[in-house]
Chains A and B, each alone.
Chain A
Amino acid sequence: MDFLSYLINGLGLGSVYAIIALGYTMVYGIAKMLNFAHGDVIMVGAYVAFFSISNLGLPLIPAVLLSIVVCTVLGVVIERLAYKPLRAASALSVLITAIGVSYFLQNAAQLLWSSSTKVFPSVISNGGISWNGLTVSWLTLITIGVCVLVMICLTLFINHTKTGRAMRACSEDKGASTLMGINVNLMISITFAIGSGLAAIASVLLCAAYPSVFPTLGAMPGIKAFTAAVFGGIGSIPGAFLGGLLLGVIEIFAKAYISTQLSDAIVFAVLILVLLIKPTGLLGKRIREKV
């Protein structure tokens, strides 16, 4: 029974990672950049949700919606101001800019809201469902449910809408997409919007589980989710989903069965092992250089 409960908790944590990882992987797929500021968008989302609930007294759903709107706008603004002028620049310049944006968001948050930790109000009731001695909290169930829902919606959107197809075309070949009349810049903006909106959802789920809000809140989940995206094969949407879930399960198992202190080391060691066996992640495509 312990095993099963660890597994479900792992899937719960993994669902959060998966939702964040989707943001990394979609942006990587279309803009070919590692958006290091993505973790800090989560932080902003968490603060917005926190203030909406604690100060404005909004119920959970409107608070989440507000958080999604703010993060979506933020994501698009960041892309327009900081990344768009660097389309032709080297990957490293873009990476450093993303790091700059990350510092900016963290320090702006510290100035605006101070570095002291705020306690996120409990938004999801504590109970859960019990079955044969196995208890699963509502939060875990909701988290997994949200993740599955996000995954289904995103898959439908990417595969069955005109915009989704255009986004896929852009990630395959920007030049050809432009020639086909696709507005590449718009598609990149939409990608950032979706990724940042998902970050807002993830932030609320994350804070419901670990109820503290502080300026560097997004750093560690960001790195973990980024790892999850690479784990599944960066650029691949099902890969981010799979990578996120696996990472969560591995982390919880490592904590439960091996050592709490070493759980991070174990997670990263598994990542390295996977990449050694499959150098482009679980579901990543291998691109062969033409000679």
Chain B
Amino acid sequence: MKTKMKMPALLSGKYRGRTVSYSIVLVSWLILEVMMHTGNLSSLFTSLLVPVCCYVVAAIGLNLNVGISGELNLGQACFMSVGAFTAVCLSGSLGPAVPSLARLILSIVAGALVATVFGILIGIPVLKLEGDYLAIVTLAFGQIVKSLITNMYFGIDSNGFHFSFVDNNVSLAAGGKMLLNGPMGATGTDRISTFTAGIILIILSLIVVYHLIYSRSGRAIMAARDNRIAAESVGIAIFKTKMLAFGVSSCLAGAAGALYGLNYSTLVPAKFDFNTSILLLVYVVLGGLGNMTGTIIATIVLVLLPELLRSMQDYRMLIYAIVLILIMLLTNNETIRVWGQKLKNRFMTKGGAAHGRES
């Protein structure tokens, strides 16, 4: 025990993952900021900075849900959608009178809160089910939310707010502004998201998720995942515990969606469809279940991969698909796995020896 205390706490086992995560985010931020200010970053890359941050945050949330809590969620994009359109509406309603930074913060908070409320409402039926049935219900809710937002019309003019559903009955006075326009979604949004805001959001979500994981609640969430009956037998209320993970996951997706929504002048509800949910799931699984550092890396690589393959033009998505399949086949290959384990053990024993020398 004493030897443990002497180890630099940030590099010892329990904290290693966290330190690496924070470092990756901060170092990338520094490098990219420098590159941007010296004009070394292509406009394509610059345009991807905020979306990558959004996907990272939503994927971190999803990893809490899928990796830590062990529930397959096929509807994470719907919480991004709720966050995005809440933020767009709030930001549009506040208008340019409010300084953009304050507007951004308020909108992200609102997006996160509304998405959390949705998460809890959806979680009540979802978390009563198990396994694949739970997964299909998250998929179903994703479709429902998309369908509802696609049918919403919301505008603002000098008389106040106007809202209609399914049929567009919103008629605005002169100078009024449509904020939600059914299948066309949000148009004319002020683009107030910034890369720095994205980085801060990633850091905040990492703090929330790590602090939660290494606490009484985090242990309960993982216990409920590993063995439901045993968890109940030590007094862990499964539903409450899973709801906590689901709620935090939706909250982060909402915040991510808000930042995403405020990064584009137009945004269609179809952006957050089943495919987006699946993409987020792919980031989480490739990054490693429960591994936040892995999620960050996988998200960055997989968002950039199709862009890097742009020179391949038509073949890029095909290559993307093949890469996806090959990674799954290789990481699950017995020979490669044994080999990787050996390598890891070697690394670990080296670490162990160094540990011994410390005392």
- Mark A residues whose CB is within 8 Å of B: 28, 34, 82, 85-86, 88-89, 91-97, 99-101, 103-104, 107-108, 110-111, 219, 223, 226-227, 230, 234, 259, 261-262, 264-265, 268-269, 271-272, 275-276, 279-281, 289, 291
B66 to chain A: closest residue by CB: A92
Interface contacts beyond A92-B289, A93-B332: sample of 9 additional A-B pairs, CB < 8 Å, sorted by A = A82-B329, A88-B334, A92-B285, A93-B331, A97-B324, A111-B318, A227-B139, A264-B144, A271-B136
26 contacts between A and B (CB under 8 A): A82-B329, A86-B329, A88-B332, A91-B72, A94-B328, A95-B281, A97-B325, A100-B322, A104-B325, A107-B321, A108-B318, A110-B317, A223-B274, A226-B136, A227-B139, A261-B147, A261-B151, A261-B166, A262-B166, A268-B144, A268-B147, A269-B140, A272-B137, A275-B137, A281-B133, A289-B229
Residues of A within 8 A of B7 (CB): none
Q: Which of B17-25, B102-110, B124-132, B243-251 contacts A (4 or more CB under 8 A)?
A: B124-132
Q: A85-B332, A96-B282, A265-B147 are in contact. Are A230 and B132 (CB under 8 A)?
A: yes
A92 to B72, Cβ gap below 8 A? Answer: yes
Residues of A within 8 A of B151 (CB): 261-262
Q: A272-B137, A279-B128 are in contact. Are A85 and B333 (CB under 8 A)?
A: yes
Instruction: Please report the total number of B residues contacting A with Cβ < 8 Å.
Output: 44
Whether a CB of chain A sits under 8 angstroms from the CB of B187 is no
* B315 CB, min distance to chain A CBs, angstroms: 7
Secondary structure at the A interface, as helix, strand, loop or mixed, is helix
A85 to B330, CA, bound (A): 9
Whether a CB of chain A sits under 8 angstroms from the CB of B150 is yes
- Mark B residues whose CB is within 8 Å of A: 66, 72, 125, 128-130, 132-133, 135-137, 139-141, 143-144, 147-148, 150-151, 166, 229, 274, 278, 281-282, 285-286, 289, 314-315, 317-318, 320-322, 324-325, 328-329, 331-334
A86 to chain B: closest residue by CB: B332
Of B314, B322, B332, which is within 8 A of A104 by CB? B322
A289 to B131, CA, bound (A): 13
Secondary structure at the B interface, as helix, strand, loop or mixed, is helix
A94 to B325, CA, bound (A): 9
A96 to B281, Cβ gap below 8 A? Answer: yes
B322 to A111, Cβ gap below 8 A? Answer: no
A279 to chain B: closest residue by CB: B129
B285 to A96, Cβ gap below 8 A? Answer: yes
Residues of B within 8 A of A99 (CB): 278, 281-282, 324
A271 to B135, CA, bound (A): 13
B145 to chain A: closest residue by CB: A265
B324 to A103, Cβ gap below 8 A? Answer: yes
A212 to B177, CA, bound (A): 37
A224 to chain B: closest residue by CB: B143
Of A91, A101, A227, which is within 8 A of B136 by CB? A227
